[in-house]
Structure 1
Amino acid sequence: MDDVDRQLIALLRDNAREPVVTLARKLRVARATVQNRMARLERDGTIVGYTVRLKPEAESHRIRAMMGIEVAGAHGDAVRKLLRGHANVVALHSTNGRWDLIAELRADTLEAFDKVLNAIRNIDGIESTETSILLSTQKA
């Protein structure tokens, strides 16, 4: 991947529906160059899909939170597998420092959120958690 690929990906992250001709103009390359690069990035698995970003208040899951998770010893793979399959876990990140994993959680109500927290805390192999509810988003 070169600088043009990285710039193209940055533009697509900002607006994946940007017309190819506009992308080409912003990158100062030919339209065919953009099309070929996008096709190659998709083919080699660098770009695995395109998505829609909604403003937070438009989402049905009103309650959003970040949960730091400490995993016991050799339970990492099993815990990650269960969390990836959990409907309320929208993103899962491995990290260094205090927490082994950071999970982004979403739920419709506080009652549902409480159930999500309890279900995750009861997963075998999770030592401890700390959750912070997201109150507002400054940049998406």
Structure 2
Amino acid sequence: MDVLDTRILRLMIEQPRTSVREYARILGIARGTLQARIDRLERNGVITATGPWLSPAALGHPVLAFVHIEVTQGHLDEVGEALSAVPEIIEAFSITGGGDLLTRVVARDNGHLEDVVQRLIQLPGVVRTRTEMALRERVAHRLLPLVESLGREAGGAGR
């Protein structure tokens, strides 16, 4: 990552629907240079998606909860795979600490959330769950501050 990579990522975050040609014009670089940089960022796993960011609430699922799942030893992979069949689970991570998996779950209402949790409890290998409901988003998903801090580091290091 260097200063130009940071500028590219900032533009892509702030203006996601802009064309590569327009990005190149704004940055004052050749389109081929820009495309090569974007391709490298994709190959290196920095850019992982280019699709739309959807709102579960606008899709009729305004309830957000974090469900911790404790799993029988040796069954983490099977339970993790089974979670992919539950459409209300929008993310799942294996974790350390209290529990084995942490899932981000959306639901239409509290009753629907309870139904989802009951479905999780019935999965083979699940020992217990603990649910925490989100009340209000305080910091929206963001990466621009991280990208900018990397750019400051790259600029200060003379890269």
Q: TM-score of the superposition, structure 2-length normalised?
A: 0.69
Point out the structure with max Rg over C-alpha.
2
Residue 32 (structure 1) aligns with: 32
Deviates more, 1:51-60 or 1:113-122: 51-60
Contact residue 57 and residue 63 of structure 2 kept, 8 A = no
Deviation at 1:71, TM superposition (A): 1.4
1:41 positional shift: 3.5
Distance change (3 Å), C-alpha of 1:104 and 1:52: same
- Once the two structures are superposed, residues 39-88 of structure 1 have per-residue CA deviations (whole angstroms, 9 ceiling, x without a partner) of 2343x372442232345642321111111111110000100000022111
- Comparing both chains, which one has the higher relative contact order based on Cα–Cα distances under 8 Å and sequence gaps of 6 or more? 2
Partner of residue 100, structure 1: 100
Q: Which amino acid aligns with 2:87?
A: A
Query: Which stretch has the larger CA shift, 25-34 or 115-124?
Result: 25-34
- CA-based RMSD of the aligned residues comes to 2.8
Distance 2:80 2:90 in 1: 13
Corresponding residue of 1:111? 111
- Do the aligned residues in 2 keep the contact of 1:69 with 1:128 (CA within 8 Å)? yes
Distance 2:28 2:98 in 1: 44
Other-structure match for 1:73: 73
Correspondence list, 1:1-140, <5 A = 2-3=1-2, 4-5=4-5, 8-9=8-9, 12-13=12-13, 15-20=15-20, 23=23, 30-42=30-42, 44=43, 46=45, 47-54=47-54, 57-140=57-140
Range that drifts further, 47-56 or 23-32: 23-32
Which amino acid is the alignment partner of residue 109 of structure 1?
Answer: D
How many angstroms apart in 1 are the aligned matches of 2:125 and 2:10?
Answer: 37
Q: Distance in 1 between matches of 2:99 and 2:112?
A: 24
* TM-score normalised per structure 1: 0.77
Q: Deviations over 1:78-104 (max 9, x none)?
A: 000000221111111122111211100
**Structure 2, unaligned runs of 5 or more:** 141-159
CA distance in 1, matches of 2:19, 2:80: 37
Count of residues paired in the alignment: 138
Contiguous gaps of at least 5 residues in structure 1: none
Q: Relative to structure 1, is the Cα distance of residues 105 and 132 closer, same or farther in structure 2, using a 3 angstrom cutoff?
A: same
Shift, 1:109, TM fit = 2.4
Give 3-state SS (helix, strand or coil) of 2:67's partner.
strand
**Aligned residue identity for 2:131:** T
Kept in 2, the 8 Å contact 1:16–1:51? The answer is no
